[in-house]
Amino acid sequence: MKNTSPNRQKQARVLRIFRKVHRTTGALLFVFFFIVAISGLLLGWKKNSGGLLQAKSYKGSSADLKDWLPIDSLHKIACRILRDSVSPDLSPELDRIDVRQDKGMVKFIFAHHFHGLQLDGATGNLLFIETRTSDYIEKIHDGSILDFYTGTQNGEIKLFYTSVMGLALLVFTITGFWLWYGPKRMRQAKP
């Protein structure tokens, strides 16, 4: 005769609910989990991709800042190179300037497209024009790619996306643990 104590029935009911939540969440968010997993894997490997995902940082002629051109002069050079060598239609608005003193180099990273320029800090000579693939992958990973293409200013889509994905991962962790631990607990409780 089966042991159908109220406590055992309650445990079985909780297991069925957790299994259903786990299965439903997985089915609804499968594509998003797949995207997060693949993009996360690529981001983890970006520095070891041989320049495929993230360009190497080139060396300039001097690491001594007193030899460098002023940042505003380097910025003007970067904007001219962007216009002349990449496309005159691209926005020169900057996202950030990455100063690599130890390499004698400055990176200009633009806000509205995925291009970057590496300039020699002392001479202003172009060291490298890069397509910032890792930035694109990062935007896919955190959902901000939709903000980028729709033009939302405050990252509303990213906030929603990361909240849903974070809560889903939390639900998956809790229900997954219980699906593993619950049956063990039920077996231990057998009289």
Residue carrying structure tokens 């806000």: 111
The token duo for 87 is: 């496309």
Segment 44-85, tens digit of pLDDT: 999 999 989 999 999 999 999 999 999 999 999 999 999 999
Q: In what order do the strands lie in the sheet with 105-110?
A: 94-100, 105-110, 115-120, 126-131
Q: Is pLDDT above 70 for 2?
A: no
Tell me if 12 sits within 8 A of 20, measured CB to CB: no
Average pLDDT over residues 2-9: 68
Angle at 125 between CA 120 and CA 128, to 5 degrees: 75
CA-based nearest residue to 171, from 40, 33, 21, 32: 21
- Higher pLDDT among residues 185 and 117, named by residue: 117
CA-based nearest residue to 161, from 32, 51, 71: 32
Say if pTM beats, i.e. exceeds, 0.95. Answer: no
pLDDT at 59: 97
Segment 109-163, tens digit of pLDDT: 999 999 999 999 999 999 999 999 999 999 999 999 999 999 898 899 999 999 9
Q: Is pLDDT above 90 for 16?
A: no
